[in-house]
Amino acid sequence: MPQPDVPTTDIPSELLRDELPLPEVSEIEVVRHFTRLSQLNNAIDTHFYPLGSCTMKYNPKINEAMARLDGFANIHPLQATDTVQGALALMYRLQEWLREIAGFAATSLQPAAGAQGEFAGILMIRKYHIEQGDEKRTKILVPNSAHGTNPATTTMAGLEVIEIGAGPDGEVDLAVLKAVCDEHRDTIAGMMMTIPSTLGVFEDDLLEIIETVHSVGGLMYMDGANMNALLGIAKPGEMGIDVMHYNLHKTFSTPHGGGGPGSGPVCCSEKLAPYLPGPIVTIVEPASDEHEAPLYGWQMPEKSIGRLKAFHGNFGMHVRAYAYILAYGNQLDQVARHAVLNANYLRVQLHDTYNSPYDRLCGHEFVVEGRWKDVPDVHALDISKRLIDYGIHPPTNYFPLIVPEALLIEPTETETKATLDHFVSVMKKIAEEARTNPQLLHEAPHHAPVKRVDEVRAARQLVLCCQPLPAESTSDGVSASSEPEVVA
């Protein structure tokens, strides 16, 4: 950092902090530290990552380059709209494309992640009912196979969860649903559903479920986490869904970033459009002979639930998703077709080795049980940890909760047949090891940067922050550091 190029002004000492307990290290040390840390990770760029419900597809490099263009990275969110027409045009088109892909009337790009998109959707449903004079509608139906975010969202929105049990096929039990709808009729605000379901299947009774909820005045929320199976295959809005969110960091390949940032745009039908979180981008002046491009501006939807975050959503993620949609365009259905092809291929290949509780055509993912009757001590967790030794990131463990020892496997469309075949052979090998040398599984991983970690110790003896070094040892500005040393 340079010396000041202006006359300095005294800073009153009573405002100043005594010390700043931050590390002081040379640039090369910082580079090596974080480069080494990165090497301790599994990632899509280094490993097959069949993590169910997370859609770990390849993240195209061009998207990263586009998000870093000067014209997108270096604009201030509060600049006058006539100075950011490129950004607004991009957001407007993305709103339109997302609406079109799922068959809805309108989109808001505000939500920062899927969970925030869900939250928006449920707040919209609630506000809609209030505006209709239907204040008593406070209950949201949630299948017991749902992502945990669904019931948590409902509580967070100040509403009440009614859990709907699954039938023997793992699907929403229509008879149970009808009974619940009968019992609670005019207090039902809506229902949350994941399509395809968290088990990776298209529910047989889908249209009847939607109709049942609508018949008692409830609205349908769709958790769009699994849209990778639906792109160009079916439009939720046309099937009767009233509002849904996307995960741009799943379906549209914006990277997961080791836990975020995500982006969770929410789309809805005509009647819910006035309730969208805002502001959203609108056309202020259509294109004309004088102006080849329309003039874009901000608009707060008329009865908006309000603003969900400062500024306009995770714009950098919008840029990446925009680039991704440009690459596939009107052939976006190829994504879903091949994602579903890959999942079904794995499903049949693993069929004889791992028990599938719901053995039928699947969507973009499927669930197997990570357990065998003849080796009761081997668990899904052991199989997962052993996969690490073979250079494969484990599938999602223990979700959905309704399947014992669940392994939820989602290969995505970007994996080659050779990778899938390798995965199958490894899974079969592990099944064999479970019988011949179960200890290999129990003690796995053997070839990872660390062995299994002690989660009990982490929770009982909480260490959430390293202690700053005493002032005298950091005052010389050399390399006394409060950073932990690298684990390797």
Partner 1 sequence: MGYIPHTEDDVKAMLAAIGVDSLDALFEDVPSQHRFPTLNLPEPLSELEIATTMETLSWFNLTTSHYATFLGAGAYNHYSPAIVNQLLLRGEFYSAYTPYQPEVSQGTLQATFEFQSMIAHLTGMEAANASHYDGATALAEAVTMANAIHNGKRQKVILSPTIHPQYREVVRTYHQNKPFKFSGDRSGTATLLDITDMVDENTMLVAVQYPNFLGQIEDFNELARVTKTHGALLCVVADPVALSILKPPGEFGADIVVGEGQGLGIPMSFGGPYLGFFATNSKYVRRIAGRIVGETRDLEGQRAFVMTLRPREQDIRREKATSNICTNQGLMALAACIHMAALGKHGMKRVGELCWHKAHYAADQIDALEGYSVDRSLPFFKEFVVTCPRPVNEINQSLLDDYGIIGGYDLSLDYPHRGNQMLLCVTETNPRAEIDMLVKALREIAEAS
Partner 2 sequence: MAGWNFPEDLKYAKTDEWFRVEGDIVTIGISDYAQDQLSDVVFVELPEVGRQLDAGEAFGVVESVKSTSDLYTAVAGEVVEVNSALEDKPELVNESPYGEGWFIKIKASDLSALESLMDSTAYAEYCNGRE
Angle, CA 286 vertex, CA 283 and CA 287 arms, to 5°:
130
Q: Which of 61, 76, 373, 460 binds partner 2 (CB under 8 A)?
A: 460
- CB-based contact 241:210 (threshold 8 Å): yes
Query: Is residue 281 within the footprint of partner 1 (CB under 8 A)?
Result: no
Q: Which of 456, 463, 465, 488 binds partner 2 (CB under 8 A)?
A: 456
Structure tokens at 62: 């061009």
Cα–Cα dist 443/115, whole Å: 35
Pairing of strands 406-409, 366-369: antiparallel
* Per-position b or e across 415-432, b if 16+ CB within 10 A of its CB: beeeebebbbebbeebbe
Q: Which of 50, 126, 226, 272 binds partner 1 (CB under 8 A)?
A: 126
Name the residue nearer to partner 2 (CB basis): 456 or 465.
Answer: 456
Q: Which of 78, 168, 175, 352 binds partner 1 (CB under 8 A)?
A: 78
Residue 239 CB, shortest distance to partner 2, in Å, is: 35
Name the residue nearer to partner 2 (CB basis): 102 or 146.
Answer: 146
* Per-position b or e across 146-157, b if 16+ CB within 10 A of its CB: bbebbbebbeeb
Other Cβ atoms within 10 Å of 211 Cβ, number: 12
Name the residue nearer to partner 1 (CB basis): 178 or 337.
Answer: 337
Cα–Cα dist 211/220, whole Å: 9
Cα–Cα dist 109/312, whole Å: 7
Query: Is residue 373 within the footprint of partner 2 (CB under 8 A)?
Result: no
Q: Which residues touch 219 (CB under 8 Å, ≥6 apart)?
A: 125, 128, 189, 190, 191, 213, 242, 243, 272
Other Cβ atoms within 10 Å of 86 Cβ, number: 14
With CB cut-offs between 5 and 8 Å by kind, which of partner 1, partner 2, none does residue 30 bind?
Answer: partner 1
Structure tokens at 387: 């996969």
List the one residue out of 453, 58, 463 whose CA is nearest residue 250: 58
- CB-based contact 307:313 (threshold 8 Å): no
Q: Which of residues 339-358 bind partner 1 (CB under 8 A)?
A: 340-342, 344-345, 347-349
Q: Which of 148, 165, 404, 470 binds partner 1 (CB under 8 A)?
A: 148
Phi-psi region of 306 (alpha: psi -120 to 50; beta: other; left: phi over 0): left
Q: Which residue has the tokens 């049990």?
A: 165
Q: With H, G, I as helix, E, B as strand and everything else as coil, classify residue 244.
A: strand
Name the residue nearer to partner 1 (CB basis): 83 or 288.
Answer: 83
Name the residue nearer to partner 2 (CB basis): 374 or 455.
Answer: 455
With CB cut-offs between 5 and 8 Å by kind, which of partner 2, partner 1, none does residue 220 bind?
Answer: none
Q: Which of 337, 357, 375, 440 binds partner 1 (CB under 8 A)?
A: 337
With CB cut-offs between 5 and 8 Å by kind, which of partner 2, partner 1, none does residue 329 bind?
Answer: partner 1
Distance between terminal CA atoms of the chain?
Answer: 33
**For partner 2, how many residues bind (rule: CB under 8 A)?**
5
Residue 260 CB, shortest distance to partner 1, in Å, is: 4
**String of contacts with partner 1 for each residue 198-237, x by CB under 8 A:** ---xx-x-xx------------------------xxxx--
Q: Could you tell me which stretch among 38-46, 72-80, 248-256, 453-461 binds partner 2 (CB under 8 A)?
A: 453-461
Name the residue nearer to partner 2 (CB basis): 301 or 395.
Answer: 395
Q: Which of 10, 290, 352, 455 binds partner 2 (CB under 8 A)?
A: 455
Name the residue nearer to partner 2 (CB basis): 69 or 401.
Answer: 401
Backbone angles phi, psi at 406, to 5 degrees: -70, 140
Query: Is residue 118 within the footprint of partner 1 (CB under 8 A)?
Result: yes
Q: Which of 15, 16, 418, 459 binds partner 2 (CB under 8 A)?
A: 459
Q: Could you tell me which stretch among 23-31, 173-181, 260-268, 458-466 binds partner 2 (CB under 8 A)?
A: 458-466
Residue 182 CB, shortest distance to partner 1, in Å, is: 22
With CB cut-offs between 5 and 8 Å by kind, which of partner 1, partner 2, none does residue 175 bind?
Answer: none
Footprint on this chain of partner 2 (rule: CB under 8 A): 455-456, 458-460
